[in-house]
Structure 1
Amino acid sequence: MVSELPPEILTPHYAKNSQEEWREHTAERLKGLDLVAGRSARYRTDLAGTIQQKEQLARSLQEDSRKSLGRRLGDINALKGAVNQELLRLLSESDALRKVHERLLNVLQEVGQVPLQIAYECLYLREKRIGIDLVYDDVEKNLVKEIEIVKAFKERLRRIADSVEAQIQANLASQFELERDVCDKHLAQTIDDRCFSLRNSSKEIDFYPDVENVDQTISNPETWSKYSNRNIVHAKHQRSLSAKLREEAETLLDIAAREMRKQFSKTNQAFTKRIGETIEARNKLQVHLAKADHEIDQLEEAVELLKQAIKEKEIPKKVAQTCLEERTRRPNIELCRDDPQFKLVKEIHIIDETVSALMQRFHEAQETLEQLAIEKAKLQREIAVKVNSLHIDRDRCMIMRNTFPSSVRLLGYL
């Protein structure tokens, strides 16, 4: 049984939209589609051009980067060559300086001590003479002068040896900087060369996300080149100083050898002319020795007095400090910064200053005692060797002087 429809449904003119509206709606949809399709076609056309343009840009940028890497490789190679060339020059100079340093050490450690030993031994032997032989003669003067000359040259050689050693260290430091610079540039060159050889078809390429936003560089082309040029300039400066110092050392070695041999010959001539003469000085030395003993005794007594005076200052200081300690226990408002407080503090400070002054004098006295002891030892040694004889001059001193180093050995060539 069919249910009965509403009257309005049965009405023939009933409709939500007219046919005209329906046609317009359809035409509108078609029109919208045409517009979107047109825009799509234009977009596809533009997109193809954009893709081509961006591809060309990417290729151009890639080629620029590769050319830049090529230029950079050239810059690295050129600067590395300059650094390496200076390094080779510095190595050559350092090697020459080390050889001079070895000669200096040979003279100081092996050769230079022998002339002093000979001269001192001659002085020691000749000072055993007694009686009329105790005269101050030309032999003695020349031996002393010989010692002075040897000592002076040894000191000069030691100083210049220290300077040479310091310069060797400076050269090594500059060499280290140059070697590190060459090594770094070699590594950078290897890396950039590998980057220069990379292509789009290379297997080694990969994504490294956000790497373009990480800047770990610490220099720019200007500071990069300045760094190496500064190393080169510094190395040249050190090389110049090294060459100058090496020349000074070689000159000093020549002068020292010549002057020591010259004085050695003068002393031998004095020995030949006046063998057997001595210095009469033992009595004066003994007087000075007694004076030194007396002065040491007096000064030791003074030191004991200083010790006692310092010891005596401990009790007053304890009293004052105890008072201050006790007065810290005053209650409340009684903790007054009163006149006794100031006086007690002042007393302690003055006691400390007094003790400090006494200690200063004590140290001075101790130093003087040490100096007197040194001088006393010198006098005792001189008195002990102030006996010599003609036999010792002729048969012992002159034979011993035959062992004086040759000029070649004095130049440091062993």
Structure 2
Amino acid sequence: MAGNTLKTCPDICPANTVAAPPKEYLKAGMSRGPENPHASPYVPGMIKPPEPKVYPPGAPPRYLPQPTDSTSGDILGMGPIGPWAAGHLDWTPQAGTTGVRPVVDKYSITRYSTGEWRNHNLFMLTPRATDKAKHADATIKRDIKIANENLDKKQDETNSNLGKRVKDLGYWKKQVEQTLRAMDDEIELLDQDRSKLKGACRILNLPEAISKECLELRTNRYEPDLVRDDAEQELVKEVAIVGEIRRVFENTLAKVEEQMANNRAAKSAIESDWNDKMVALKVDKQCLSFTPESSLLLYHPGVARWPENASNLEYWLHYCAESIKNCDEVRQKSENLRGDLMTAIVKGGQDLKTQGDRTNAALAESVSTTEELRDKLEETLKDNLKTIADIENLISYLKDELRKLGERTKLNMTRLHARNYDRPNVENCRDEAQYALMAEAKFIKETTESFNGRMREAEAIRSELMKYRGDLEKEIASKRKSLNIDQDRLARVRAHMPKPEEFAGG
């Protein structure tokens, strides 16, 4: 139609031809990427179970204290241990493990010794006159009554606050005790798992020694069987997997040692907090039990003031909660690490068992193939021996025929000699008998030469068969040697391969 533009596909017929970017090819020395499927770092659990006949191609950890972790919320910005561990006053940000611990083990109450002070004032203000005495008597008694009532109120208020403080200290002491018991249990469990990991590291020496001994035994095979077969590949992979598992175990053990130090530091800090709370609770209970009639009351001049190292209530509450929180955080990291530790042990043992199954399967297949080849070689050797016997019989038969040809040759020669030299004069003629004897001599000579050629051919064939027999016997001996190594000696050695349960049990 008129006015309609021709629509074309922009991918096939672009309106504006743009030159395609030149193709880039790999230059000399450049790699297309890793071709080995095991080039990446080893991860427990990556080994797949063995497959029949078809051969397919084959946690720092977060769990370490973080620099941004808060220990107490103070302005010092301490490291993973926290500023509440007992330390020296010469703390520096580079230390990272100790801090200035605020002194919280001194508590006091404001107390006034009013009795003697009032008695002294009464003595100084009592007038010498009687009216003044009466007025003073009434006034002082009234003041004393009011003062005693106010003192009782203040003392009741103080006792109430002390009782409330004792309850708060008892609550936080109980929380600290629970945290401390949980940390004790965690340290004990982590120590047990560490012992299991060390035992797994010791047990790991056995499969490594077994794999290396199997590789060394297979080097004793004879020359034709020194091949890089699947069994050899699996044994080499088994040695590599043992090394990777050992690397994971050693890294995990280093993390466990570091976490154990953190656990003990957290336990020390929480024990210090618990000890401070026990002392403070004992002091406050003793203060709460005091009455004006107690026998342990003494004068302590100058105590009615705030100590220089006294903390406020908000900071004390923050410290109590933060101390428990820090200990719980360390304990949680320890629990996570224990989970990773047992996962590494279990997965490592399973991977080693899986690889052992793959190796045993490859060895069994190699043994089966070698047995089939040995049987075939023995059958071929029997056929070769039978063929040698047949060719020797043939040679013997050819010798008999040559001997018979010799007799015929002598007969023919005797006849020709007699007819050539014994017939006189004209009788020595070339008759039909003479021509027949000459033809017979020629045929006997040709037949003898043919038989001698066949004799040489048979002798060469027998020599070749004898050489082939020796080669077959060497091959059979080689296969029997390989079967003895793979089927007997390697089987006895690999029977001691540890099971995954032994790794988990430590």
Over the aligned positions, Cα root-mean-square deviation in angstroms equals 2.7
Match of 2:104 in 1: none
Q: Which residue among 171, 178, 185 is the counterpart of 2:270?
A: 178
Paired residue type of 2:184: L
Query: 1:188, 1:128 → 2: CA distance?
Result: 78
Residues 255-311 of structure 1: per-residue CA shift (max 9 Å, x gap): 11111111101111222222599xxxxxxxxxxxxxxxxxxxxxxxxxxxxxxxxxx
Residues 294-336 of structure 1: per-residue CA shift (max 9 Å, x gap): xxxxxxxxxxxxxxxxxxxxxxxxxxxxxxxxxxxxxxxxxxx
| 174-183 or 221-230: bigger deviation | 174-183
TM-score, structure 2 as length reference: 0.49
Deviation at 1:47, TM superposition (A): 3.0
The answer to whether structure 1 residue 73 and structure 2 residue 166 are counterparts is yes
The answer to whether structure 1 residue 53 and structure 2 residue 169 are counterparts is no
Contact 1:133 1:276 in 2 (8 A): no
Match of 1:104 in 2: 197
Paired residue type of 1:227: Y
Match of 2:502 in 1: 409
Match of 1:134 in 2: 226
Deviation at 1:250, TM superposition (A): 1.9
Paired residue type of 2:204: G
Q: Which has the larger radius of gyration?
A: 2
> After the TM superposition, which residues 9-408 of structure 1 pair with which residues of structure 2 at under 5 Å, given as runs?
41-109=134-202, 111-213=203-305, 215=307, 217-275=309-367, 391-408=484-501
Deviation at 1:393, TM superposition (A): 3.5
Query: 1:262, 1:54 → 2: CA distance?
Result: 89
Q: Secondary structure at the match of 2:300?
A: coil
Paired residue type of 1:203: S
Contact 2:346 2:500 in 1 (8 A): no
Alpha carbons of structure 1 residues 260 and 392: separation in structure 2 relative to 1, 3 Å: same
Deviation at 1:130, TM superposition (A): 4.7
Alpha carbons of structure 1 residues 35 and 78: separation in structure 2 relative to 1, 3 Å: closer
TM-score, structure 1 as length reference: 0.59
Q: Secondary structure at the match of 1:86?
A: helix
Q: Unaligned regions of 5+ residues in structure 1, if any?
A: 1-33, 278-387
Contact 1:276 1:391 in 2 (8 A): no
Paired residue type of 1:47: I
Deviation at 1:401, TM superposition (A): 1.0
Contact 1:276 1:390 in 2 (8 A): no
Contact 1:93 1:242 in 2 (8 A): yes
Q: Unaligned regions of 5+ residues in structure 2, if any?
A: 1-126, 370-480
Query: 1:204, 1:41 → 2: CA distance?
Result: 37
Deviation at 1:103, TM superposition (A): 1.4
Alpha carbons of structure 1 residues 276 and 128: separation in structure 2 relative to 1, 3 Å: farther
Contact 1:276 1:393 in 2 (8 A): no
Residues 65-89 of structure 1: per-residue CA shift (max 9 Å, x gap): 2221111100001111122222223
Q: Secondary structure at the match of 2:495?
A: helix
Deviation at 1:90, TM superposition (A): 2.8
Query: 1:167, 1:238 → 2: CA distance?
Result: 8
Is the helix fraction higher in 1 or 2?
A: 1
Contact 1:276 1:389 in 2 (8 A): no
Q: Secondary structure at the match of 2:227?
A: coil
Paired residue type of 1:82: Q
Deviation at 1:192, TM superposition (A): 1.1
Paired residue type of 1:205: L
Residues 76-134 of structure 1: per-residue CA shift (max 9 Å, x gap): 0111112222222333333333222221111012x111111111122222234452233
Paired residue type of 2:365: K
Query: 1:233, 1:214 → 2: CA distance?
Result: 29
Query: 2:128, 2:144 → 1: CA distance?
Result: 24
Match of 2:102 in 1: none
| 95-104 or 259-268: bigger deviation | 95-104
Deviation at 1:142, TM superposition (A): 0.4
- For these two proteins, the number of residue pairs brought into alignment is 269
Higher RCO (CA-CA < 8 Å; seq separation 6+): 1
Contact 2:270 2:323 in 1 (8 A): yes
Residues 190-231 of structure 1: per-residue CA shift (max 9 Å, x gap): 121111111111111111222334725432222222112111
Query: 1:410, 1:213 → 2: CA distance?
Result: 64
Query: 2:297, 2:133 → 1: CA distance?
Result: 36
Deviation at 1:166, TM superposition (A): 2.0
Deviation at 1:53, TM superposition (A): 2.8
Deviation at 1:35, TM superposition (A): 12
Contact 1:115 1:150 in 2 (8 A): yes
Paired residue type of 1:158: E
Query: 1:167, 1:176 → 2: CA distance?
Result: 14
Q: Secondary structure at the match of 1:168?
A: helix
Paired residue type of 1:124: E
